[in-house]
Structure 1
Amino acid sequence: MKTLENQTILYDEDCPLCQAYTSAFVKTGMLDKNGRKPYCNIGETEQEFIDTERAANEIALVDYQAKTVLYGIESLLKIIGNSFPWIEKIGHLAPVNYFLKKTYSFISYNRKVIMPSVVRENQTVKCEPTFNHSYRITYLILAVLVTTLVLFECSKLLPQLPESSIWREFSLAVGQIGFQSLFLIRSDRKKLLTYLGNMMTVSLFGSLLLLPIIIASKFTTLSGNLILIWFGITVMLMLKEHFRRITLLKLPVYLTPTWVLYRIIALFIILNF
């Protein structure tokens, strides 16, 4: 790999994804050994020419000699393009660049609900993205659609349940959002949408765990006991992850019991109506 020298990328040290790909840039030689730095370690001198708010939203690539900064997808294209110029050229094509920027922003603005981190109240410099309602709502919609499709396919594997439909699974996913919102109705919108984002990430996590057995069922016949065990383990892991997240974010503990209660109520309705 061709090393992009004298360039430093500022990353969110609390974001596992940010840590992974910035570390990969250094390990593969795309950046030198001093090519990455935690955002929270920037000093006052750096803040004079770095847009700190933008850098919290879009990962920044800093040239300390020229005192210039690239942000977001442009910084990533600069690093990758130094070793693979053709990727940078494709990435700068208008339609491709637009798509990359939107995708990057979607992930960046939602990264704290995709992979939450400990709330550090005493930290003065925080790499926390600006709360964006549009991207959060979009994330919730996408999570609902993915969850709906996976649960619809999964329901076909459970003969104990009445025949399902896309609309039933969609209603259950949306209903979970509405039900849990009731218990945070007095909270501000940011707190509510932060929780709902994390809750739907748990649903996506469960969907990913169910995918292997759904795919396997397309090629072979699976025993009912195996499917039930797999489904049960998935539910337990989701429960554990939900509790971990509300503890991490210092949200009310009762949100986990109510999350379980909704699923019990939904199962009762499915079996009896």
Structure 2
Amino acid sequence: METISLLYDEDCPLCRWYTRLFVKYGILDTDGRISYNKYVVLHPTKVNADIAQTKIACIDHQTNQVYYGIDGLLLVLGNRFKLIRILGNFKPINLLLKFLYLFFSYNRRIFAPVKKRTVECACEPPKSILWRTVFIASLSFFTYLIVTWYFEHFLSHYMLINTPNDLILLMAQIGFQWGAFALFRQKNSYNYLGHLVFTSFLGALLLVFFGAGLQLLNLFGIQTEFLAVVFYGITILFMFLEHKRRIQLKEWTWKLTLSWVVFRILIYPFVFQI
């Protein structure tokens, strides 16, 4: 593996994490994991910066060729696991992998947020309205499915007969917070909306965990109506704290978290029996 170097975004926690795993388990040599910023200083013409911002670069020193994105990862993993290389290069699977790669790459600073920087990283993913829209739409849809499942199975006793569709409420929250963002004259709504939707998605995943536990308790004949409300409250608290954490990391105004709470207070009378 000494013949391969994988460049990674040093400011991206996800990139640091998985490249460390590659080194730890012998997929990459110790010196095969190189910071993109440091490498381009020493070799300014070796890597196409426009591509490497989005697709991680992998250099094959034997052929002196640079691979990007999924092609680079398949090169690294394929040298250790031949089956991965064979399956990964199968066209339908390869197309799916490339789609997923771009989905994660363009939104990697949302999955793993970092502090606001005064100097822009040379490996910062560029802004893409398309991929951010795909991100927001897909996570909103999965959040809707999970929340609807939890409400119907565990909170139906506390809900009004005719409640607004959960997807409509989620879209309303996005619109409400977008308006608040503009009202408070904050910068970079492109990133804020990504963090907002991802926070809701994390809350939905927590509901999946709680819902599985409630179903297990139901199998033993344990009543879980009140416990379901407690778990939902814990989820809301988690989302509040996560939203607040991300706001602070990006140095946006605390008023955004306040508006997040206000929206919740405004909609709950239309959803739950008081």
TM-aligned CA deviation for residue 164 of structure 1: 6.6
Find out whether 1:130 has 2:126 as its counterpart: yes
Point out the more displaced range, 221-230 or 242-251.
221-230
The aligned counterpart of 2:58 is 61
In 1, the alpha carbon distance for the partners of 2:140 and 2:239 equals 16
Q: Deviations over 1:89-113 (max 9, x none)?
A: 2211221111111110011001111
TM-aligned CA deviation for residue 15 of structure 1: 2.1
Q: Deviations over 1:114-167 (max 9, x none)?
A: 2211122135x43210111111001111111111111111212122222477x6
Q: Evaluate the alpha carbon distance shift between residue 87 and residue 24 of structure 1 in structure 2; reply closer, same or farther with a 3 A threshold.
A: same
In 2, the alpha carbon distance for the partners of 1:104 and 1:91 equals 12
Report if aligned partners of 1:203, 1:238 keep a CA contact under 8 Å in 2.
Answer: yes
The aligned counterpart of 2:233 is 232
Q: Evaluate the alpha carbon distance shift between residue 60 and residue 10 of structure 1 in structure 2; reply closer, same or farther with a 3 A threshold.
A: same
Find out whether 1:73 has 2:70 as its counterpart: yes
> Alignment partner for residue 183 of structure 1, among 175, 180, 183?
180
The aligned counterpart of 1:146 is 142
CA RMSD of aligned residues (A): 2.3
Find out whether 1:52 has 2:53 as its counterpart: no
Report if aligned partners of 1:6, 1:63 keep a CA contact under 8 Å in 2.
Answer: yes
Identity of matched residues, %: 33
The aligned counterpart of 1:160 is 158
> Alignment partner for residue 205 of structure 2, among 199, 204, 208?
208
Residue 201 of structure 2 aligns to which amino acid in structure 1?
Answer: L
In 2, the alpha carbon distance for the partners of 1:30 and 1:238 equals 36
TM-aligned CA deviation for residue 204 of structure 1: 0.7
In 1, the alpha carbon distance for the partners of 2:27 and 2:111 equals 27
Report if aligned partners of 2:56, 2:69 keep a CA contact under 8 Å in 1.
Answer: yes
TM-aligned CA deviation for residue 178 of structure 1: 0.8
In 2, the alpha carbon distance for the partners of 1:17 and 1:171 equals 32
Residue 144 of structure 2 aligns to which amino acid in structure 1?
Answer: T
1:242 is paired with a residue of what secondary structure?
helix
Residue 37 of structure 2 aligns to which amino acid in structure 1?
Answer: C
Q: Deviations over 1:194-226 (max 9, x none)?
A: 111100110011011110222234444242332
Structure 2 unaligned spans of 5+: none
1:251 is paired with a residue of what secondary structure?
coil
TM-score calculated relative to the size of structure 1: 0.90
Structure 1 unaligned spans of 5+: none
Residue 128 of structure 1 aligns to which amino acid in structure 2?
Answer: E
Find out whether 1:96 has 2:101 as its counterpart: no
Report if aligned partners of 1:155, 1:164 keep a CA contact under 8 Å in 2.
Answer: no
1:19 is paired with a residue of what secondary structure?
helix
